Amino acid sequence: MNHHLGSWVSALVDGQLPPAEAERALAHAAACPLCAEEVAAARQARRALSVARDVEPAPDLTARLLALAATADPQDVGRQEVRGRGARVLPLGSSAYAVPARALTGELASRRLPRMRLAAGSLVGVGVVTAGLFLLGEQPRVVPSTDPAEALSQLARAQGPGTGSASVVEVEVEVEVEQTPGTTSPSTGAAFGSAHDEAVLAWLRREGWTGPAALPEGYEVTSARLTHGATGSVGLELDLDGPDGRVVVTEEHGRLDVSGLDGATARTMAGYEVYELSRQPWHVVWQSQDTVVSLVAGAPADSLTDLVAGFPADGYDDRFPARITRGWDTVTGALARP
């Protein structure tokens, strides 16, 4: 601190120094170009922050920044170092009125240090990346079909292969599971059971889908498939066999658009707010984290309470950290695909 202000710059600009120390710091900055530059930069940064507001970056911002970097004069750094030489520095113990440092050396042109340019460029780059991740983290709005015929079609598709929609491409999900001797599926008689169900549910969570931590007693997974719609949307279909019949659970990443649910009835079920779209068959939808869940069953609603209660109760999170995380997951997922 005997040669430069150092950590005093921030305290000086924020007005946190006692009067005597502030006067000493200003006197030193008046004769030290480096310290004067740091004080001016700190003040400029605070003025910029005080009037800053959210601004959407222009699409060509990155290209223009790269063009500016390419046209920078490499000899500018040497000239800046020469200008700072030979300036007499007042000791911090002296008292003097604060005057601009460049007034003592005759320099009137503004100069910027290379490290300030580097810091500014880094901040701009981080801001552009953050804005991009924030925009990518916005999930699309999902409007489930309210037609009972569509719900009946889902139940019919779950009865066996060959009944899918022509506009939907289905990919069966295969998971590896250690078979337990003597454990068979009630519907197919094949080795299946709880080990397979746990493997499927673990796969759902690993792939970013939502699902119950465990299936209620009497339920088992008979099929799990990914669906690719004609518009490019990706969904998940989980077929279950329960004590009261077949249950079809479908999921799609996004935010439930309640305004598009014509004729839906909102009700509370197991502490969740669900929207009943039809009763024959029983069809409800709700938001579980960043996934819209749809459940279709021929069984009465009361018998499915435990199944609904098994899904995560968290709603859609549209806060800044959550959107940044979803945006990053989108980028890494795209890079991971071949």
pLDDT tens digits, 71-85: 655 555 455 544 545
Q: Let me know whether 130 and 44 are in one domain.
A: yes
Q: Give how far Cα 147 sits from Cα of 96, 240, 260, 280, 305, Å.
A: 82, 22, 12, 11, 23
Question: Position of tokens 């970013």?
Answer: 208
Rg over CA atoms, the chain:
32
Which band of pLDDT confidence, cut at 50, 70 and 90, is reported for residue 129? low
- Point out the domain boundary residue: 117, 136, 155: 136
Angle at 314 between CA 198 and CA 224, to 5 degrees: 30
Q: Let me know whether 30 and 146 are in one domain.
A: no
Say how many domains are in the chain: 2
State which residues form the domain around 112.
8-136
Residues 29-44, mean pLDDT to the nearest whole number: 84
Tell me the one-letter amino acid at 280: Q
- Point out the domain boundary residue: 94, 113, 136: 136
pLDDT surpasses 60 at 225: yes
Q: Let me know whether 69 and 160 are in one domain.
A: no
Q: Is residue 20 part of a domain?
A: yes
**How does 256-292 read in b/e, with b if 16+ C-beta sit within 10 Å?**
beeeebeebeeeebeebebbbbbeebbbbbbbbbbbb
CB 272 within 8 A of CB 309: yes
pLDDT surpasses 90 at 296: yes
Largest CA distance in the chain: 95
Measured distance CA(36)–CA(138) in Å, rounded: 44
CATH assignment at residue 213: 3.30.200.100
